[in-house]
Structure 1
Amino acid sequence: MNFFLISLFGKDRPGIVAEVSKVLYDLGLNIEDSSMTRLKGEFTVMLVVSCPEDIGEEKIMSMLKGVGERFDLYVACKKLPKDWEKEYEGKEIYRIVVSGADKPGIVYSVSKVLSEKGINISDLRTERRGELYLMLIEAESQEDRFDELKQDLDQLKSILGVDIHVERDEEAVL
């Protein structure tokens, strides 16, 4: 079994997901993981697909070419190494919510704290709702860093003037 990371992006319009998923289905690919979202009028698609050994990047790109041209999408495809899943097993998962007034440096400041602790960001979303800035992070660590992370983020929230809530995901272990 092979795994590929596929990324597409372009102006948002109806039919992108249907057309992309049809091509993948017709090729016999299975969508394992996906993230699809609109950002300021642009639609982004990131997928991890699994497929039989006889299908390669060239075949996938060739089949997605028509969809890319029809919707004016940028398309990329990358084969993942065979052992890619082993790197993500048995990790602590943290969920972090940052909210407050929007200002430059929030993403940098929070991500710097995580990086210094050796904590990896697996998902990060930001959204501005009027004057409210919202950042949602899912992060993971090989070691239990919860208490020190909570302490550092508590210090950071007074520096940034935002609210930061962090919790350990007791249910999920990758």
Structure 2
Amino acid sequence: MNELAITVIGRDRPGIVADVAEVLARLGANLTDSTMTRLRGHFAMTLICVGPAAADVEAALAPLAADGQLLATVRAVTPDGEVAPGGEPYVVAVHGADRMGIVAAMTRVLTDAGGNVTDLSTRLVGSLYVVLAEVDLPPGTVDTLTGQLDRAAAELGVEVTIRPADPDLL
């Protein structure tokens, strides 16, 4: 079996998730990890599955993209194998007036502290910009990092909070 990374993007419509999942199930592909969202009327899905060859999956998904409204890509990836613990999980929330560079500045602070962003979403509602990021931080760094995030937020004119992630939630 092959481990595959699949992306599907395009204009949103009801049934995309069901259509893709049915194609994969018919092929005997096991969906292991996925994320799906709608971004300003556009659908975006990334998933990892174990199944047949990438070319077979791509051919089976092709009819879903035949009308030009969706783009589906498939590529073989190397399984991770054993993964070392990533650190302590935290959630960082940023909100404030929209302006260029919020994500760049805040993720740079996290990265420079040795953090790894494992999930990130943003939303623009009117002039309010919201960032939610799940991050893994090296043990013992959160106190120093909190001060660095506060300074970066003040320079951007936004507010930031950081809290431990709930380990019982996905």
Tell me if both proteins adopt one fold, taking TM over 0.5 as the criterion. yes
Q: Percent identity?
A: 34
Which residue pairs with 1:63 in the alignment? Answer: 60
Q: In 2 relative to 1, CA 108–47 (structure 1 residues): closer, same or farther, beyond 3 Å? A: same
Aligned pair 1:146/2:142, yes or no? yes
Which residue pairs with 2:105 in the alignment? Answer: 109
Which residue pairs with 1:74 in the alignment? Answer: 71
Aligned pair 1:50/2:50, yes or no? yes
CA RMSD of aligned residues (A): 2.1
The Cα shift of 1:128 comes to 1.1
Contact 2:86 2:136 in 1 (8 A): no
Amino acid at match of 2:132: L
Which residue pairs with 2:156 in the alignment? Answer: 160
The Cα shift of 1:142 comes to 4.8
Amino acid at match of 2:7: S
Distance in 2 (CA, whole Å) between partners of 1:71 and 1:86 is 39
Q: Structure 2, unaligned stretches of length 5 or more?
A: none
The Cα shift of 1:108 comes to 0.8
* Cα deviation code 1:27-82 (max 9, x no counterpart): 1112211111111211111111123xxx1111111111111214631111122213
Which residue pairs with 1:136 in the alignment? Answer: 132
The Cα shift of 1:171 comes to 2.6
Residues matched between the structures, number:
170
Contact 1:34 1:46 in 2 (8 A): yes
Distance in 2 (CA, whole Å) between partners of 1:16 and 1:99 is 31
Which residue pairs with 2:82 in the alignment? Answer: 86
**What TM-score results when the alignment is normalised by the length of structure 1?**
0.88
Contact 1:9 1:43 in 2 (8 A): yes
Aligned pair 1:119/2:115, yes or no? yes
Contact 1:16 1:71 in 2 (8 A): no
* Cα deviation code 1:112-132 (max 9, x no counterpart): 111212211111110011221
The Cα shift of 1:23 comes to 0.1
Distance in 2 (CA, whole Å) between partners of 1:112 and 1:11 is 31
Aligned pair 1:37/2:37, yes or no? yes
The Cα shift of 1:170 comes to 5.8
